[in-house]
Amino acid sequence: MKTQVAIIGAGPAGLLLGHLLRAAGVACVILERQSRAYVEARIRAGVLERTTTDLLHRLGIDARLNAEGLPHHGFGLVDGERTVRIDVAALTGHAVTVYGQTEVTRDLIAAAPERGLDIIWEAGDVALHDVDSSAPFLTWADGQRLDTDFIAGCDGFHGPSRAALPAAVQKSFECVYPFGWLGILADVPPCDDELIYANHDNGFALASMRSPTRSRYYIQVPDGERMDNWPDDRLWDELALRLGPAGARIVRGPALEKSIAPLRSFVCEPMQHGRLFLAGDCAHVVPPTGAKGLNLAASDVAYLSAALIGFYHDGDEALLHGYSARAAARVWKAERFSWQLTKLMHRFPEDGRFERRMQLAELDYIAGSVAAQTAIAENYVGLPL
């Protein structure tokens, strides 16, 4: 098999990149380790920046997004009994859209056949070869081979692409947080019209949603926490406690899904080597506090697709050579925002009374400062590409 761009991974990064390339007439193939059903069942992010929704509108893969996506013009920060509303629409002129990553993935997969985007499912043991040469290739289970001009590593944090960067050129930066997020999905109406981020003495909590009838909640739990320590009733009680005024409005119901995700900040530089280009979680991970993970995958592939299309349409290699520097500049600013909001809104085991008062003082300052609220708002809606 031969193609122009071989993409590893059918998550948001790989699927968006595939569609952007196909829309420009560039041949590409996606190799995905899991089954289609497995990928379409993943429950992950919930908030889309305009950079992400703009790509979906540009592709015309937005019918359900337009019908079901929920525009959000603000969100709340809660410390104890007070809610500080960050009015992102008034402060930035932009909003975010609540529309689950699960739905984005399903829409992109459904549109693949009609747009000539080939996805090979259950491609086990994908290996990268000769990424330094002008003729790299991929192999996978039972001796399959795909020759290609370029390889796009969109295989997430645990995929093989990042390891294909020679150790001598790869620099990584990491912060592992001493806690995780326990998430619950339930078919109950949300406790508020907007998202609520809370920093309670017991720890962080987030009230989010997928629709007016489906809620998504998270609480901070200690590193290594076990799921069986959190029967539904205990989790609903803790959410009601941590979410302040909105907690009293929680509607309870059985969990459709419950899982614990670890939190880390991670960046690998450079995000390219030879004919290999990294995009999304395989190059960087953020704690979900700032709702940046999925959206950074989208901005990476906005840059990468422009670079590859420029190469095939005009023979221009400038954007290809400059991809990593350009994408990483935006990644680092999102890493900073996600890290800062995580530090502000979570209880760190090593923190004492002084650090707690610093958090409460910062929230008190934000409550009274349009400048501080604007800084949060412009990062939350997404910095321009």
288 is catalytic: yes
Catalytic-residue membership of 380: yes
Q: Which of 12, 136, 287, 288 is catalytic?
A: 288
Collapsed DSSP state (helix, strand, coil) of residue 150: strand
Residue 5 touches ligand PHB, criterion: CB under 6 A: no
Q: Is 59 exposed, middle or buried (0-12, 13-18, 19+ CB in 10 A)?
A: middle
Residue type at 117 in one-letter notation: L
Tokens of 169: 């050129």
Type of residue found at 284: H
Residue 289 binds ligand PHB, judged by CB under 6 A = yes
Under 8 Å between Cβ of 281 and 13: yes
Which residue from 166, 165, 161, 130 is spatially nearest to 8, judged by alpha carbons? Answer: 161
Measuring CA to CA, how many Å separate 272 from each of 47, 139, 154, 262, 286?
A: 28, 20, 12, 26, 19
Residue 102: name its binding partner from ligand FAS, ligand PHB, none (Cβ under 5 to 8 Å by kind): none
Nearer to ligand PHB, 137 or 204 (CB): 204
CB of 369 to ligand PHB, least distance (A): 22
Name the DSSP class of 352.
-
Q: How far is the CB of 159 from ligand FAS (least distance, A)?
A: 3
Pick between residue 116 and residue 124 the one whose CB is nearest to ligand FAS. 124
The answer for 224, left when phi > 0, alpha when psi is -120 to 50, beta otherwise, is left
Q: Which is nearer to ligand PHB, 47 or 219 (CB)?
A: 47
Smallest distance from the beta carbon of 248 to ligand PHB, in angstroms?
A: 21
Catalytic residue among 197, 217, 303, 323: 197
- Residue 306, CB half-sphere, CA atoms under 13 Å: how many? 15
Q: Does 47 participate in binding ligand PHB (rule CB under 6 A)? A: yes
Contact 278, 162 (CB under 8 A): yes
Token reading at 272: 């390219």
Binding mask 249-288 for ligand FAS (x = CB under 6 A): ------------x------------------xx------x
Which residues in this chain contact ligand PHB in the complex, by CB under 6 A?
45-47, 195, 208, 216, 288-289, 291
Which residues in this chain contact ligand FAS in the complex, by CB under 6 A?
8-14, 31-34, 39, 44-46, 101, 123, 126, 154-156, 159-160, 261, 280-281, 288, 291-294, 297
Catalytic amino acids? 72, 197, 288, 292, 380
